């Protein structure tokens, strides 16, 4: 049987990868893993962007640096950038000058936003548009827990369907809206609206195609050796197959390696329990790169500790060292 390298070196070596998602159950070390992977990628790519899509952001805590919704250079790097976004629509209060135009667009906006998921999808589309315009060589997504992540991955298809409906509505209502615009003497331009819809749709179609291309996109599943986490990982892998998204790496964090010179009953019992679930992972994912990362006596915070942790992702961990 073919043995797969128990590291993430395959991701580093695959220079064609543009989009790398890192996800799993809450509390399994997704942010530490994605941040460490981004640190390693920065040593082999021209520029790298790591994006947190989890509303409860942890990137700022991991790097000990405050990030915002625009890319910022990470301290200590020349080519690693980070940003934290919430893929939900931010409602802005219109200015007085724009209030008339906004009210006239209210009907079409209400119709548009009635499409399930379209609001979050539109926000995510704007983020992707921003990212693409900056031309980062590789983008790493530090995703929210599994349920949120799976919804995030549906956004491209939601937008494709939503944009089609918007175009159809525009065709049916363009005459009415044009008459209203001329009667009220406003500057609302239906063609401009259609152009924006079409340009957004073009971005989404391209990104959706890239997300399903294993040469450009991959998903790294992160878990810990416990029942609920392994169960969630199986669910995630199955859903990723449905989305036609490549996944061939699993990181198992918090693996306990008892000290043979100082045996502890609790440690030995936990290690035995963990090994049961680790064996299940190897049995279920025999064609995956399975990376075991040790439980450490301290939290991984700050660039120096992330760099140390990241070495184990690509070089492997030797117990006792």
**Residue 54 designated active-site:** yes
Spatial separation of the C-alpha atoms in residues 186 and 220, rounded to whole Å: 50
Distances (CA, A) of 176 to 108, 115, 180: 11, 21, 6
Q: Is 271 exposed, middle or buried (0-12, 13-18, 19+ CB in 10 A)?
A: middle
Q: Which of 5, 54, 286, 304 is catalytic?
A: 54
Instruction: With both helix axes pointing from N to C terminus, report the angle between 190-211 and 146-184 in degrees, rounded to the nearest 10.
Output: 160
The sign one gets for the Cα dihedral 28, 29, 34, 37 is negative
The DSSP output letter for 64 is: T
Phi/psi at 217 (nearest 5 deg)? -135, 140
Which parts of 135-259 fold into alpha helices (H)?
Answer: 146-184, 190-211, 227-242
3-state secondary structure 247-280: CCEEEEEEECCCCCCCCCHHHHHHHHHHHHHHHH
* Token pair in block for residue 116: 């399930």
CB 20 within 8 A of CB 11: yes
Spatial separation of the C-alpha atoms in residues 167 and 171, rounded to whole Å: 6
Spatial separation of the C-alpha atoms in residues 33 and 309, rounded to whole Å: 8
Beta-bridge partner residues of 76: none
Q: In what order do the strands lie in the sheet with 48-52?
A: 72-73, 80-84, 48-52, 138-142, 19-24, 217-223, 249-255, 289-294
User: Among all residues, which ones are annotated catalytic?
Assistant: 54
């Amino acid at each position: 049987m073919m043995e797969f390298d128990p590291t993430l070196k395959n991701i580093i070596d695959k220079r064609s990868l543009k989009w790398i998602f890192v996800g799993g159950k809450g509390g399994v070390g997704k942010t530490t893993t994605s941040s460490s992977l981004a640190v390693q990628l920065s040593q082999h790519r021209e520029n790298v962007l790591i994006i947190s899509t989890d509303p409860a952001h942890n990137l700022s805590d991991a790097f000990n640096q405050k990030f915002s919704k625009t890319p910022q250079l990470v301290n200590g790097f020349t080519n690693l950038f980070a940003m934290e976004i919430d893929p939900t629509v931010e409602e802005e209060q219109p200015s007085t000058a724009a209030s008339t135009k906004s009210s006239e667009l209210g009907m079409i906006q209400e119709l548009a936003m009635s499409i399930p998921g379209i609001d979050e999808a539109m926000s995510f589309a704007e983020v992707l548009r921003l990212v693409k315009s900056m031309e980062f060589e590789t983008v790493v997504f530090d995703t929210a827990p599994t349920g949120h992540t799976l919804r995030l991955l549906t956004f491209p298809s939601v937008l494709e369907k939503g944009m089609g409906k918007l175009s159809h509505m525009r065709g049916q209502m363009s005459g009415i809206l044009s008459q209203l615009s001329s009667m009220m003497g406003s500057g609302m331009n239906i063609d401009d609206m259609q152009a924006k819809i079409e340009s957004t749709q073009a971005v989404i179609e391209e990104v959706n195609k890239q997300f399903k291309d294993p040469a450009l996109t991959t998903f790294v599943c992160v878990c810990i050796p416990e029942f609920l986490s392994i169960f969630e990982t199986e669910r995630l892998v199955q859903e990723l197959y449905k989305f036609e998204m490549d996944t061939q790496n699993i990181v198992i964090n918090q693996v306990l390696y008892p000290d043979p010179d100082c045996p502890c009953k609790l440690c030995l019992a936990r290690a035995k329990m963990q090994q049961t679930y680790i064996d299940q992972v190897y049995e279920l994912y025999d064609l995956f790169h399975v990376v075991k990362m040790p439980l450490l006596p301290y939290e991984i915070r700050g660039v120096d500790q992330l760099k140390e942790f990241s070495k184990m992702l690509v070089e492997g961990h030797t117990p006792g060292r």
